[in-house]
Amino acid sequence: MSETLLYSGKAKDLFSTDDPEVLKMIYKDQATALNGKRKEQITGKGEVNYEISKLIFAYLSQQGIETHLIKNVSETEQLVKKVTIIPLEVVLRNVVAGSFARKFGQPLGQRLEQPIIEYYYKNDALDDPAINISQATALKLVTPTEVATIEAMTKQINTLLIKLFNEIGIDLIDFKLEFGRYQGRLILADEFSPDNCRLWDQKTHSSLDKDVFRQNKGDLVTVYETVLQRLTKMIGGSTNV
């Protein structure tokens, strides 16, 4: 199999495969914060994120959300559809946390009346600046029709995942998604793991996500494994992955 490294991200690498329509995605043991300025190797992180993302994507796909995931290959490797990534990070917030709390001086943990969707321009050199829809469409990063689809899919994913996490005693505070163009459609790409969302335990209110690393609050892999165990109990048998 001829495999060339096409892209090396903070948490994953992407390789070409013999099939030009298919890429191989490998989850790495690297953790970053402050947009990559702080970097650490954490043994086992790639595997646990792979397992969590695999379950969530399989679940979403069962619920009718098209994703880029084709097949899981090994403990850290997935085959995915080759998409053209829309260079926007789509953040949805249910509860005040992170940059929203800091930027707007809002109390951490306050539930928002309606979910908020924010966009960031995926551009490391510019430090992923916040962008609004008129800016993003003016820059031709996305079309207005695509924006409508992204918003609808993001809200639908939120509804599905709030319910799923609620069933395993976890509040879904916020998350980040990425979408790609594939054969004229928009599909969910990238990953869904505690690296890209905030998950708070409903009983203890402790973080079960990357805030553990960002704020040195505990062992990242142990915490992520708690999420994986609860998810596996809930949907591990039904997702056929």
- When CB distances to ligand UDP are compared, the closest residue is 98
> Which 146-185 residues touch ligand UDP, going by CB under 6 A?
174-176
**Is 198 an interacting residue with respect to ligand UDP (CB under 6 A)?**
yes
Residue from 66, 77, 128, 146 in contact with ligand UDP (CB under 6 A): 128
Where in 77-106 is the site for ligand UDP (CB under 6 A)? 89, 91, 97-100
Tell me the closest approach of the beta carbon of residue 89 to ligand UDP, in angstroms.
6
23-50 residues labelled b (16+ CB within 10 A) or e (exposed): bbbbbbbbbbeeeeeeeeebeebbbbbb
Verify binding: residue 59, ligand UDP, rule CB under 6 A. Answer: no
**Of the candidate residues 210, 220, 223, 230, the single one contacting ligand UDP (CB under 6 A):** 210
CB 42 within 8 A of CB 54: no
The answer to whether residue 201 forms part of the interface with ligand UDP (CB under 6 A) is no
- In angstroms, what is the minimal distance from the CB of 113 to ligand UDP? 18
Structure tokens at 49: 């994120």
What are the strands, taking DSSP E only, across the chain? 5-8, 12-16, 22-27, 30-33, 38-41, 69-72, 77-81, 84-85, 88-95, 111-121, 130-131, 170-182, 185-189, 197-201
Distance CA 16, CA 2 (A): 7
Q: Do 177 and 90 form a contact (C-beta atoms < 8 A)?
A: yes
**Which one among 53, 196, 207, 239 touches ligand UDP, defined by CB under 6 A?**
196
Q: Where are the beta strands (DSSP E) in 50-142?
A: 69-72, 77-81, 84-85, 88-95, 111-121, 130-131
DSSP annotation of 67 reads B
**Cβ distance to ligand UDP smaller for residue 23 or 199:** 199
Helix (H, G, I), strand (E, B) or coil at 186: strand
Judged by CB under 6 A, the stretch of 67-75, 77-85, 148-156, 195-203 that binds ligand UDP is 195-203
Shorter beta-carbon distance to ligand UDP: residue 16 or 118:
118
- Closest to ligand UDP by CB, 18 vs 126, is 126
Residues near 215 by beta carbon (within 8 Å), at least 6 away in sequence = 207
- Whichever of 99 and 229 has its CB closer to ligand UDP, that residue is 99
CA 17 – CA 123 distance, rounded (Å): 26
* CB of 116 or CB of 148, closer to ligand UDP: 116
Least distance to ligand UDP from the beta carbon of 215, Å? 10
* Closest to ligand UDP by CB, 23 or 97: 97
Asked whether 42 and 28 are in contact (CB, 8 A), the reply is: no
Q: Which residues bind ligand UDP (CB under 6 A)?
A: 89, 91, 97-100, 128, 174-176, 196-198, 210
